[in-house]
Amino acid sequence: MDWLVQRQIEVGKLDTRVYCLLFNVRTNEMNTYLSVVKLQITTTSTTTTKVLVQATDSYKAKLQLEAMYGRGNVVSSPQLVR
User: Running DSSP on this structure, what letter comes out for residue 76?
Assistant: S
Asked if 33 and 80 count as a contact pair (C-beta separation under 8 A), the reply is yes
- Phi, psi torsion values for 33, nearest 5 degrees: -120, 145
Of residues 32 and 14, more confidently modeled: 32
Classified as helix, coil or strand, 27 is: helix
Query: pLDDT by residue (tens digit) across 27-74?
Result: 568 899 999 999 988 999 999 999 999 999 999 999 999 999 999 999
pTM for this prediction: 0.64
Query: Residue 19 burial (CB < 10 Å; 0-12/13-18/19+)?
Result: middle
Asked if 38 and 48 count as a contact pair (C-beta separation under 8 A), the reply is yes
Residue 21 scores a pLDDT above 60:
no
